[in-house]
Amino acid sequence: MSTENTIEHKIDKADLDGKQEYTITVYAENRIGLLNRIAIIFSKRKINIESLNTSPSEIDGIHRFNIVIHEGYEVVRKLARQIEKQIEVLKVYFNTNEEIIWQELALYKVSTDEIAEKVTVERLLRQYGASAVVIRKDYTVFAVTGHREETDALVKALEPYELIEFVRSARVAIIKDSAGFHEKLKEFEAFEPGEELVENEFLEKGQKIFTM
Amino acid sequence: METAQDTIQQNEAKAETSKTLFKGTGSQVLLNGLIEEGVTTIFGYPGGAIMPIYDALYDYADKLEHILVRHEQGGIHAAQGFARASGEVGVVFATSGPGATNLVTGLADAQIDSTPLVCITGQVFAHLLGTDAFQETDVINITTPVTKWNYQVTDAKEIQEVLAKAFYIAKSGRPGPVLIDITKNAQLQLEEFPEYVKCNHIRSYRPKPKVRIEYIEQAAELINSAKKPFVLFGQGVILGSAEEEFKAFINKTGIPAAWTIMGEGAIPTSHPLNVGMLGMHGNYGPNVLTNEADVIIAIGMRFDDRVTGRLDKYAKQARVVHLDIDPAEIDKNVKAEVGVWGDCKETLPLLTNLVNENKHEDWLAKFRQYNQEEIDQVITPELYPTGDEMTMGEVLRNINEICGGDAVIVTDVGQHQMVACRYAKFNNTRSNITSGGLGTMGFGLPAAIGAKYGAPDKTVIAIIGDGGFQMTPQELGTIMQFGAAVKILILNNRFLGMVRQWQQLFHDKRYSFVNITSPDFVALAKSYYIEASKVDERANLRQALETMINHEGSYLLEVMVGRENNVFPMVPQGMSVSEIRLK
């Protein structure tokens, strides 16, 4: 199985040292400890993970990781192969920002008094594509979905008005040229579905068990 | 038209086939599974969290031979030696906590040298996980970077499937160590178990890439066009049991072949196309001519830094064909023009079919020329020294003369390892057992014990330095109790020789803490009821070696060799392979 994408990678927007943002997409079984196994591949080489998201994919039982790192093409290619080598990983893709559609979600908590007094909220919402998620007497929560610069812009705009809390999600990304994973999966499912996840059911039973 | 009656009958038939066959504990079903997987020998050390498994083992003495080692590190190295000598999966038992953490070095060694192992560790009760219970360590997370796969069992119902997967993963594709951590409740749990079913497929795991014939064709084309082709082979040839296929390939093409230390023995030392050893302490010709070859065919090797030296000056003129089962290895260190993914047992015959018969006499003569230079300047003085001091090389020469290349030679790590790999003669595959990737001092003695169980009919010689021997000497106790007839040869230069050599060459002879003293090894061996003697004069060497090899049972021989002899040739760190030094 190849980790190479069929598309030509655009090596533009790279730094002078040839590094740029890559989004690695990993399709894997939903298995305890796999996150650690994947994370180790980066930490072993002293590579920082900029953002990491894991969630169910379009296929039942298969999880999808989105990992963003800032590295050169060769390093990313080798990382992808090392990840794909893990027993529970089905497939790995890696893409530059031009090759994906991606979004991040950010939430902003501000004082309602402060914001109602000093800001034209309606304009703020329009200008930054924000929506009000919660409006209470004491605080209001806004949400923005978009690229980093869009979510950052609202942080800057709100900073003068007591931004109480700010949180941003990891990147979620869809590959432009991907036909989905269903077809690929057929190759994998020669004659068996994925396995059930087994969790530790004994953790809460400490009081009831006598052990030595 | 199917009736309800038919359906009921079918369901009854299904129930019949999935009828539970065994009622017992998780421990028993684990041992039954090991037997199903063909396991005969286990190396282990009991403890609190694995006691139920040991309790069950009490009743399996006729089916499973358990070797009680003296330290878990000894256990896992023995399992490695067993696996490397026999080609089977090595099995280790250890308890939780310190028992499991003592396995880590061996796991790392097996991971980097692709040795198939299944390690079973006991673990505290599932409800105690995460409470810092007595002898609890997070074994799964500690061992994740050094295992091919690991899994924690908390329920006996998981055991059969996990064990089957463990064996399949350990030995298929690029082999490696697998660890199963089993909580004590799962070991004790009474269940009704179905029949054990071996695993041969995991959805997300591709042990063997599909062989793509177009790459074979491209590789053949490149090989056929080559004027100075050069084969570099590694342990992949041995792991794939492709020794015959490999011989057929080189015999037909007439291409000179050099080995990595892990690949040594895949073809006999005496094979006319075997041109010697690659890498830092390898032979002169293979290293220099790597930078003259026009096509390099790398088979089951991974261009380790000890083989390549400085990468930006490595084989830049060559077009590279790389055969490997692990796609992650292709283009990792050296760019391949043609990457042939697959098991070389499958790919080599396909390639052999497409390549032209050839003889590269002039090219081969070049290797011989360099070899003659190395013989004159390095090999002869090492094998036939004229000074008073004995050399490690002459000890090896004597072993070759006595054993004729049929012994299994297990080494520790250091100068003696390089000398053994350089000069030992091998007629058979799976005869050179050494810690290549990790360079684990302390590997030699326990690995030799394991190798003796893996190859009981062979003479097994452990060649160990005075430093390495002092890392795992407790395994003499294992020999004492279970009688593995291992010939232990300590080459004592009263130094940590390899580090001393580097300090001499690169640190102005500032011998910082390499001056290691030793106990009376002969007395030590005798305290374990193992026959032993010591040689410090050349006149007695041959007789002493013959006594050791012909002795019934285990024997320890200590040979005092020159203190400050260096291993040459050498590719100094940061230099190119063509800058190899003979002195």
Q: What is the pLDDT of residues B159-197, one digit of tens each?
A: 999 999 999 999 999 999 999 999 999 999 999 999 999
Between CA B491 and CA B395 the distance in angstroms is 9
Q: Which residue of A has its CA nearest to B140?
A: A33
Instruction: Report helix, strand or coil for A167.
Output: strand
Instruction: Using CB atoms, pick whichever of B148, B154, B203 lies closest to residue A200.
Output: B154
Average pLDDT over residues B88-114: 98
Instruction: Using CB atoms, pick whichever of A85, A204, A205 lies closest to residue B326.
Output: A85
Strands (E), B300-364: 319-324, 338-341
- The answer, yes or no, to whether residue A7 has pLDDT greater than 70, is no
pLDDT of the residue at A191:
54
- The answer, yes or no, to whether residue A13 has pLDDT greater than 80, is no
**Residue A58 pLDDT grade (very low, low, confident, very high; cuts 50, 70, 90):** confident
Average pLDDT, chain B: 96
Which H or E element spans position B461?
strand B460-465
pLDDT tens per residue across span B346-391? 999 999 999 999 999 999 999 999 999 999 999 999 999 999 999 9
Residue among A200, A32, A207 nearest B129 (CA): A200
A64-68, B1-5, B70-74, range with the lowest pLDDT: B1-5
- The answer, yes or no, to whether residue A37 has pLDDT greater than 50, is yes
Average pLDDT over residues B565-583: 95
pLDDT of the residue at B447:
98
Which listed residue (B22, B51, B125, B135) is catalytic?
B135
Determine contact: A44 vs chain B, CB below 8 A. Answer: yes
Query: Is B498 annotated as catalytic?
Result: yes
Tally of residues, chain A: 212
Which listed residue (B184, B247, B425, B487) is catalytic?
B184
How close is the nearest chain B Cα to the Cα of A120, in Å?
51
Residue among B368, B405, B367, B400 nearest B384 (CA): B400
Percent of chain A having pLDDT more than 90? 61
Main-chain dihedrals φ then ψ at residue A118, nearest 5 degrees = -105, -10
CB contact under 8 A, B141 and A33: yes
Per CB-CB distance under 8 Å, the chain B contacts of A75 are: none
First to last CA, chain B: 87
Going by DSSP bridges, is the β-strand pair A172-175/A100-111 parallel, antiparallel, or unpaired? Answer: antiparallel
Number of H helices, E strands in chain A: 6, 9
Instruction: Using CB atoms, pick whichever of B127, B145, B326 lies closest to residue A203.
Output: B127
Query: Is B481 annotated as catalytic?
Result: no
Relative orientation angle of helices A34-43 and A73-84, to the nearest 10 degrees: 150
Average pLDDT over residues B47-61: 97
- The answer, yes or no, to whether residue A59 has pLDDT greater than 90, is no
Neighbouring C-beta atoms of residue B55, cutoff 10 Å = 15
B6 against A175, higher pLDDT: A175
**Residue B30 pLDDT grade (very low, low, confident, very high; cuts 50, 70, 90):** very high
Q: B505: number of CA atoms within 13 Å, CB side?
A: 18
pLDDT tens per residue across span B395-428? 999 999 999 999 999 999 999 999 999 999 999 9
Instruction: Using CB atoms, pick whichever of A44, A81, A191 lies closest to residue B201.
Output: A191
Determine contact: A210 vs chain B, CB below 8 A. Answer: no
- The answer, yes or no, to whether residue B5 has pLDDT greater than 90, is no
Between CA B495 and CA B492 the distance in angstroms is 8
pLDDT of the residue at A190:
58
Which listed residue (B37, B72, B136, B558) is catalytic?
B72
How close is the nearest chain A Cα to the Cα of B15, in Å?
20
Determine contact: A46 vs chain B, CB below 8 A. Answer: no
Site of tokens 């059911």: A201
CB contact under 8 A, A40 and B145: yes
Determine contact: A90 vs chain B, CB below 8 A. Answer: yes
CB contact under 8 A, B150 and A33: yes
**Residue A185 pLDDT grade (very low, low, confident, very high; cuts 50, 70, 90):** confident
- The answer, yes or no, to whether residue B17 has pLDDT greater than 60, is no
pLDDT tens per residue across span B428-485? 999 999 999 999 999 999 999 999 999 999 999 999 999 999 999 999 999 999 999 9
Between CA A126 and CA B195 the distance in angstroms is 66
pLDDT of the residue at A189:
67
Query: Is B249 annotated as catalytic?
Result: no
Query: Is B543 annotated as catalytic?
Result: no
- The answer, yes or no, to whether residue B10 has pLDDT greater than 70, is no
Q: Which residue of B has its CA nearest to A43?
A: B145
- The answer, yes or no, to whether residue A2 has pLDDT greater than 50, is no
- The answer, yes or no, to whether residue B291 has pLDDT greater than 50, is yes
- The answer, yes or no, to whether residue A175 has pLDDT greater than 80, is yes
First to last CA, chain A: 48
Between CA B479 and CA B519 the distance in angstroms is 19
* Upstream peptide bond of B175 is cis (omega within 30 degrees of 0): no
Query: Tokens for B125?
Result: 């009760």
Q: Report H helices in B138-242.
A: 139-143, 159-171, 184-188, 213-225, 236-239
Which listed residue (B134, B316, B401, B509) is catalytic?
B134
Q: Report H helices in B528-579.
A: 538-550
Picking from A35, A43, A87, A204 by the largest number of B CB atoms within 10 A of its own CB, the best residue to mutate is A87
Provide the sign of the torsion angle of the four alpha carbons B355, B359, B363, B368, taken in this order. positive
pLDDT tens per residue across span B477-528? 999 999 999 999 999 999 999 999 999 999 999 999 999 999 999 999 999 9
pLDDT of the residue at A1:
39
CA B283 → CA B265, B305, B502, B567, distances in Å?
15, 16, 19, 11
pLDDT of the residue at A162:
83
Average pLDDT over residues B543-569: 98
pLDDT of the residue at B229:
98
How close is the nearest chain B Cα to the Cα of A76, in Å?
11
CB contact under 8 A, B203 and A193: yes
pLDDT tens per residue across span A77-130? 999 999 999 999 999 999 999 999 999 999 999 999 888 888 777 788 889 999
Between CA B75 and CA B446 the distance in angstroms is 7
pLDDT of the residue at B15:
47
Query: Is B123 annotated as catalytic?
Result: no
Instruction: Using CB atoms, pick whichever of B131, B183, B204 lies closest to residue A87.
Output: B204
CB contact under 8 A, A29 and B204: yes
Which H or E element spans position A146?
strand A139-146
Q: Which residue of B has its CA nearest to A204?
A: B127
Determine contact: A48 vs chain B, CB below 8 A. Answer: no
